[in-house]
Structure 1
Amino acid sequence: MESAQPDPAILQQLVNMKMPFGKYKDVLLCDLPVSYLEWFQRSGFPKGKLGMLLETMYVIRINGLTQLLEPLKK
């Protein structure tokens, strides 16, 4: 059985892309507070690429996997 490997391009986007709107506009997606990601999870993630990235960040956070992003932040 193969173990699932994260897509490096998606992880790179999480540490480089900034939130384009709202209370946390211009904050890197990887630095968004978990409470904001939880709000999106309850209310619905935006459509498209941004929604996929926010949902990915939410899953990373709730599963305690933020260490995956540390090497990419440097």
Structure 2
Amino acid sequence: MDLKMEKINELFSAHGVLRLSLGPEKILNQSIMEFAQPDREIFQQLVTMKMPFGKYKDVLLCDLPVSYLEWFQRKGFPDGKLGMLLATVYEIKLNGLTGLLTPLKGK
């Protein structure tokens, strides 16, 4: 194994990714695909969970206005699951991907 391959294996094993005896491109592609799969549960929570406090209390997270999400982005999202969900819906709206949530809203 060459030095470049050893370094890649070292980096991946340090982050909990299995060491593989494949070429660097295969390791990278496989690792990216593992992390790129969306979690359906998160999307489902975005269309069912309501904001628990504040100006938009009881509004579905997916229906929060961008201005409110931008405010959180500037001030800091709350800790924990709610913060992760708010940051996720912010990124979805920021990138014009709200259509991903539309099919889930009807369920």
TM-score by length of 1: 0.95
Matches within 5 A, 1:48-67: 48-67=80-99
- SS of residue in 1 equivalent to 2:36: coil
Measure the CA separation in 2 of the matches of 1:55 and 1:8. Answer: 16
Aligned to 1:10: 42
Cα RMSD after superposing both structures: 1.1
Q: In the aligned structure 2, how far is the partner of 1:18 from the partner of 1:57? A: 12
For residues 6 and 66 of structure 1, what CA distance do their matches in structure 2 show? Answer: 14
Over 6 Å off, 4+ runs: none
Equivalent position of 2:103 in the other structure: 71
Residue 4 of structure 1: how far off its partner (Å): 2.1
Which residues of structure 1 form unaligned runs of 5+? none
Higher relative CO (CA 8 A, sep ≥ 6), structure 1 or 2?
A: 1
Separation of aligned partners in 1, 2:37 and 2:104: 16
Match among 64, 68, 86 for residue 32 of structure 1:
64
The count of corresponding residues between Structure 1 and Structure 2 is 74
What letter is aligned with 1:20? P
Q: Which has the larger Rg? A: 2
Counterparts of 1:69 and 1:24 in 2: how far apart (Å)? 19
Identity %: 77
Q: Distance in 1 between matches of 2:73 and 2:103?
A: 26
Q: Structure 2: which 5+ residue stretches go unaligned?
A: 1-28
Give the partner amino acid of 2:45.
Q
CA distance in 2, matches of 1:64, 1:5: 19
Select the structure that is richer in helix. 2
